Amino acid sequence: MALEDSVTALTSQAGLLLDLPQQIANTANAKMTALHGTYADLISKLTSTWYVDQANGNDENAGTQASPFATIAKALAVAPSAGRTTVRLLGPYEVRQLTNVDRPLRIESEGSHLYPLTFLADGTFSSDNSVRYTHGFRIGSQPLVFNQVDFQLPAVGTQGARSIGSAAHVIRVNPSVEAGLVSVAIINSQIYRPASPLGRLISHTGRPLILATSGNTLGGAAMEGYWSDRQTNTAGVAPSSLPWLLTGDNVTTI
């Protein structure tokens, strides 16, 4: 009996040992599933979408499609401090202040709409009175994306007897950012710029900047393929090597 009992015990232990790899695998799979769930939850919290309706929204609302905010600034204020923030416009929007963007931001029209994004002049001028400044967005090292919006840049103004440019510094780089790649993307959008001697869209103050464009159309004054403040002579031709250059491959002039 003792021998049979020993054999039975050894057989049982052998079975447990044979089952051990599967038990380890099951435990590992369960932990991996839990980790994936935690990761997905963190990503969902870091990636936020907010709705903005300047005409009918309220910054005391929840920021949902049914209860939208009134300003983009409010969406940035309540969004997670890390991760990507998407703002969906439910109607035309006037940019009436300088908004600091300290995280990846995507601004787009809801659905198939192409809502106007109108940049208002802030009433100030460059030191030589040659450029009229506007309200806009000041970015750091995080990417800024505009998708499916209708850029409306302010009309030409005058300072004294001089005609001055419009739309300078609509998108500007934070002076505290170290020199490096700053990314701005404008896709599936329309840009209208009134006739002016110096129509700028992006000011990079000497910092390398990537301007990615795709599927856009230009209206109003001819832009000669560039929006940057480094090329101000509209009669000239910007070098094709400039990373912020717009080319005929992705822009249709209207």
Average pLDDT value over all residues in the chain = 71
The pLDDT of residue 112 is 92
Count Cβ neighbours within 10 Å for each residue of 85-113 and write b for 16 or more, e otherwise.
Answer: bbbbbbbbbebeeebebebbbbbbbbeee
175-189 per-position pLDDT tens digit: 666 555 667 788 888
76-109 per-position pLDDT tens digit: 999 987 788 999 999 999 999 888 888 899 999 9
Residue type, 27: T
More confident residue, 43 or 248: 43
DSSP 8-state assignment for residue 215: S
Lowest mean pLDDT among 63-67, 145-149, 242-246: 242-246
Say if residues 230 and 203 touch (Cβ distance below 8 Å).
Answer: no
More confident residue, 104 or 215: 104
Work out whether strand 131-134 and strand 121-125 pair parallel, antiparallel, or are unpaired.
antiparallel
Residues 93, 160: Cα–Cα separation, whole Å: 30
194-209 per-position pLDDT tens digit: 655 445 566 555 455 6
In the chain, pLDDT over 70 holds for what percent of residues? 51
DSSP 8-state assignment for residue 102: -
Three-state SS annotation for 8-19: HHHHHHHHHHHH
* Average pLDDT of span 232-254: 40
The pLDDT of residue 233 is 40
Q: Flag whether pLDDT at 250 surpasses 50.
A: no
At 223, the pLDDT band (50, 70, 90 cuts) reads very low
pTM above 0.75, yes or no: no
Lowest mean pLDDT among 132-141, 153-162, 173-182, 200-209: 153-162
Closest CA to 254 of 210, 212, 218: 218
Q: Flag whether pLDDT at 247 surpasses 80.
A: no
Q: Flag whether pLDDT at 162 surpasses 60.
A: no
7-25 per-position pLDDT tens digit: 566 666 666 666 667 777 6
Say if residues 156 and 117 touch (Cβ distance below 8 Å).
Answer: no
- Residue matched to tokens 């300078």: 168
